[in-house]
Amino acid sequence: MSLDLAYRSFVLSVAGRKGVERLIKTRARGLVRRYVAGETLEEALKAAEALEEKGVHAILDLLGEMVRSEGEARAFQGQILDLVRSLAQRPWPKYVSLKPSQLGLDLSEGLARELLREILKEAEPRGVFVRLDMEDSPRVEATLRLYKGLREEGFSQVGLVLQSYLFRTEKDLWDLLPYRPNLRLVKGAYREPKEVAFQDKRLIDAEFLHLGKLALKEGLYVAFATHDPRLIAEVKRYTKAMGVPREGFEFQFLYGVRPEAQRRLAQEGYRVRAYVPYGKDWYPYLTRRIAERPENLFLVLRSLLGG
Ligand code: FDA
């Protein structure tokens, strides 16, 4: 396992302990402000406006995942419906991301599908696009089924995410081709065992480019969601060399990560979106950001030491 993946694995396993959670929740306010737009929809919309002024479009994401009761899933759905309705009244952004486990996927696939269907019924006629985030590997199969089922029901303003660290992803991509999916391609943010995922960053990066090029060759719309300057440069080079039009792909970033690069790409004429998370349930999201970047752990440790 490469060092960065060993670090990620360590952070994600420790972050699950209650004591650590309590400490981070009280002492990591600075990091929360960097990565999370706020606790309310109003704060998220304000952040979206600021991005738009820089030519970067927002993807609104109500934080929340792995709910344990139907009531919780329905409550999240209610808030996502409010979000969709409020986006419908604005010229932009018209884009939300959500996690299937936020809508009860772990309780019942039928429940998640029903709640998603209701969201799409509101979103599609209002021109709001809905992206299903991809969670950890035990949830991949069900998420793919959800996506395919919704497409078979006739919904079109829905997309999904593929993760280049999973061995299975190329086969999933081939299986998805008949659905002409709007894809977001990521490296993958979870702790995955060596039986299912590459453990070497170089292989994950190579697979990211391989899958992205394959999807573009097949004529799919691809959102390249990475902050990695080397991969972004290669996507720019490849799309130019192959004559892929700028409308055929986009770059996506996370709120608070490399904002200058986001703005620069937008100025160069690329379509750029930033994922704007908001809500009270920010802890799991924040731990994945800490796990991606050792500097963030140092910031947390420094604040624990009162620095
Ligand atoms: P990598 O981690 O190799 O980082 C490359 C460089 O980017 C770093 O050297 C650093 O400069 C910068 N960087 C990366 N992370 C940073 C951070 N947290 N803070 C500051 N700088 C950072 N994953 C998933 O499993 N399912 C999903 O649905 C999604 N959805 C998603 C949407 C969007 C819009 C993005 C950008 C990412 C995701 N991800 C995701 C997360 C993704 O899988 C991955 O964990 C992160 O993007 C980090 O990987 P990079 O590709 O940026 O490369």
Residue 307: pLDDT band (50, 70, 90) is: low
90-125 tens-digit pLDDT: 999 999 999 999 999 999 999 999 999 999 999 999
Measured in Å, residue 89 CA sits from the centre of ligand 1 at: 31
- Whether 223 shows a pLDDT value over 80: the answer reads yes
CB of 119 within 6 A of ligand 1: the answer is no
Tell me which residues are annotated as active site: 133, 184
Query: So what's the pLDDT on residue 183?
Result: 98
Q: Please report the pLDDT score of residue 20 as a whole number.
A: 83
Smallest CA separation from ligand 1 atom 13, residue: 227
Q: How far apart are CA 162 and CA 80, in angstroms?
A: 23
Considering the domain architecture, whether residues 113 and 242 belong to the same structural domain is answered as yes
What are 256-298's pLDDT values in tens digits? 999 999 999 999 999 999 999 999 999 999 999 999 888 888 8
pLDDT in tens, 24-56: 888 888 889 999 999 999 999 999 999 999 999
Which CATH number goes with the domain that contains 203? 3.20.20.220
pLDDT reported for residue 179 = 98
Return the pLDDT at 294: 87
Per-residue pLDDT band for 302 (boundaries 50, 70, 90) equals confident
Q: Do 41 and 63 fall into the same domain?
A: yes
Nearest residue by C-alpha to atom 7 in ligand 1: 227
- What value does the mean pLDDT take over residues 68-90? 97
Same-domain pairing of 6 and 83: no
Residue 186 CA, closest ligand 1 atom number: 43
The domain in which residue 276 lies consists of 37-281
Strand partners of residue 185: 162, 224
Claim to verify: residue 198 and residue 297 sit in the same structural domain: no
**Cα(288) to centroid of ligand 1, in Å?**
9
DSSP-assigned letters across all residues of 77-132: HHHHHHHHHHHHTSSS--EEEE-GGGGTTTT-HHHHHHHHHHHHHHHGGGT-EEEE
How many CB atoms sit inside 10 A of residue 126's CB? 13
Question: Which of 95, 33, 30 minimizes the C-alpha distance to 62?
Answer: 95
Ligand 1, atom 47: closest residue by C-alpha: 226
The reply to whether ligand 1 has any atom less than 6 angstroms from the CB of 158 is no
Residues 259 and 293 occupy one common structural domain? no
- Are 125 and 216 members of one domain? yes
What pLDDT is recorded for position 4?
A: 82
- Read off the pLDDT band of 16 (50, 70, 90): confident
pTM for the model stands at 0.96
Mean pLDDT (the chain) is: 95
What would the pLDDT profile of 224-268 be if each residue is shown by its tens digit? 999 999 999 999 999 999 999 999 999 999 999 999 999 999 999
What are the φ and ψ backbone dihedral angles of 188, each rounded to 5 degrees?
A: 115, 135
The proportion of the chain whose per-residue pLDDT surpasses 90, expressed as a percent, equals 84
Percent above pLDDT 70 for the chain: 99
**Atom in ligand 1 nearest the alpha carbon of residue 208:** 51
How many residues make up the chain in this entry? 307
Whether residue 288 sits in one domain with residue 239? no
Q: How many domains does the chain have?
A: 2
Do you find a cis peptide bond into 294, omega within 30 degrees of 0?
no
Pair 45, 18 in one domain: no
Which ligand 1 atom is at minimum distance from the Cα of 274? Answer: 34
Q: Which two tokens stand for residue 16?
A: 């699950």
Whether residues 213 and 289 fall in one domain = no
Task: Using most ligand atoms within 8 A of CB, pick from 9, 59, 65, 186 the residue to mutate for ligand 1.
Answer: 186
Which of 75-79, 166-170, 173-177, 292-296 comes out lowest in average pLDDT? 292-296
User: Does the structure show a pLDDT above 70 at 152?
Assistant: yes
Which pLDDT belongs to residue 19?
83
Point out the least confidently predicted range of 179-183, 198-202, 296-300: 296-300
Whole-angstrom distance, CA of residue 282 vs CA of residue 191: 18
**Same domain flag for 192 and 152:** yes
Residues 259, 152, single domain; the answer is: yes
Q: Does residue 165 have its Cβ closer than 6 Å to ligand 1?
A: no
CA of 88 to the centre of ligand 1 (A): 29
pLDDT at 31 (0 to 100): 87
172, 226, 298: which to mutate for ligand 1, most atoms within 8 A of CB?
A: 226
Instruction: Please give the number of the atom of ligand 1 that sits closest to the Cα of 188.
Output: 43
- Is residue 58's pLDDT more than 90? yes
pLDDT of residue 303: 77
160 and 195 assigned to the same domain = yes
CA distance 193 to 204: 14
- The average pLDDT across 6-27 equals 86
